[in-house]
């Protein structure tokens, strides 16, 4: 439907435009002065310098796997992250923990855990869905590689990025 836009009523000063031009020039002059006095910092030497320190705690970078405080890999290969992952970036091959192991009670672990970082959209659903608090989005955002295969993070790489994370899941404690 046609719609008539009302023309704004301009004051006399606005009709001349000059006050606005002067105001703009003043801002430019302020920046110029600050630059001459060395008060402005407009260049960051990336990647030597990064924003990381000022990133919020909830920043969603690359998904990683973490171990618990006893060194146990938290992931039990339930494959919920593989299911929820919208771009289907996650691939898990489940395996069985041998009965002789210290963590035999957990029974299941991921034999292979691949996240295709070309596919990953950093949505964080994997972290949200994980019932074992095993997958976390850390602050690494510059994931690069020279080939497609290099961009697939395997289990070793994911644990290297993830490190150790304390959590509240203690049902695998043998006494529990």
Partner 1 sequence: MVNVQIDGVWMQFPKGTRMIEACTQAGKFIPRYCYHPKLSSPGNCRMCLIEMGMPKMGPDRKPVLGADGKPEIAWIPRPQISCAQDIAEGMGIRTSSPMVEDCRKGVMEFLLINHPLDCPICDQAGECRLQEFSVEYGNAQSRFLDQKVKKPKNVELGPRVTLDAERCVLCSRCIRFMKEVANDDVLGFVDRGSFSTIACHPDRQLDSNYSLNTVDICPVGALTSSDFRFKMRVWFLKETKSIDVNDGLGCNITIGSRENIIYRITPRENNDVNSCWMPDSHRLNFKYLHNERRFLGPQIKTGSSLAPVEWPVAINRAAEQLKKYALTSSLAMIASARMTNEELFLVGRLAKALGIQKFDVLPRVGEADGILIPADRNSNTSGAKLLGLTGERPGARLPEIAEGVRTGAIKALLCFEDATRCGISETDLAKLESIVTMDILPNKTTALASVVLASSGFAEKRGSLININGRLQRLNRAISAPGEARDDWEILRDLIQAVSGSNGIYMIEDVFKQMAEEVSAFAGLSLSKIGDLGVQLLSGDGKAAERLDADQPVAKTPTA
Nearer to partner 1, 59 or 172 (CB): 172
Minimum distance from residue 126 beta carbon to partner 1 (Å): 14
**With contacts defined by CB under 8 A, how many residues of the chain interact with partner 1?**
19
Q: Restricting to residues 49-68, name those near partner 1 by CB under 8 A.
A: none
DSSP H helices, 9-137, are 12-16, 18-36, 80-84, 125-129
List helix spans (H) across the chain.
Answer: 12-16, 18-36, 80-84, 125-129, 155-162
Distance CA 44, CA 49 (A): 6
For residue 154, the minimal CB distance to partner 1 (Å) is: 20
Residue 88 is a binding residue for partner 1 (CB under 8 A): no
CA nearest to 135, candidates 37, 57, 61, 40: 61
Residue 167 sits in the site that holds partner 1 (CB under 8 A): no
Residue 138 in contact with residue 159, Cβ under 8 Å?
no
User: CB of 170: closest distance to partner 1 in angstroms?
Assistant: 12
> What's the DSSP call for residue 77?
-
Interaction residues for partner 1, span 90-109 (CB under 8 A): 94-96, 99, 105-108
One symbol per residue from 102 to 141: x for binding partner 1 (CB under 8 A), - otherwise; what is it?
---xxxx----------------------xx---------
Distance CA 157, CA 114 (A): 9
Decide whether 117 or 134 has the Cβ nearer to partner 1.
Answer: 134
> Could you list the residues that contact partner 1 (CB under 8 A)?
76-80, 82-83, 94-96, 99, 105-108, 131-132, 171, 176
């Amino acid at each position: 439907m046609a719609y008539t836009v009302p023309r704004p009523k301009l004051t006399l000063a606005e009709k001349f435009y000059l006050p606005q031009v002067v105001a703009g020039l003043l801002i430019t002059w302020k920046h110029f002065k600050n630059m001459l006095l060395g008060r402005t910092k407009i260049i960051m030497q990336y990647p030597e310098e990064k924003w990381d320190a000022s990133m919020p705690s909830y920043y969603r970078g690359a998904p990683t796997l973490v171990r618990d405080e006893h060194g146990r890999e938290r992931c039990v290969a339930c494959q919920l992250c593989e299911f929820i992952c919208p771009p289907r970036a996650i691939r898990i091959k489940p395996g069985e923990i041998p009965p002789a192991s210290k963590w035999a009670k957990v029974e299941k672990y991921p034999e292979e855990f691949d996240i295709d970082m070309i596919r990953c959209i950093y949505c964080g659903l994997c972290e949200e869905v994980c019932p074992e608090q095993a997958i976390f989005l850390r602050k690494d955002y510059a994931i690069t590689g020279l080939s497609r295969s290099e961009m697939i993070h395997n289990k070793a790489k994911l644990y290297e990025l993830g490190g150790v994370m304390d959590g509240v899941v203690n049902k695998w404690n043998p006494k529990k």
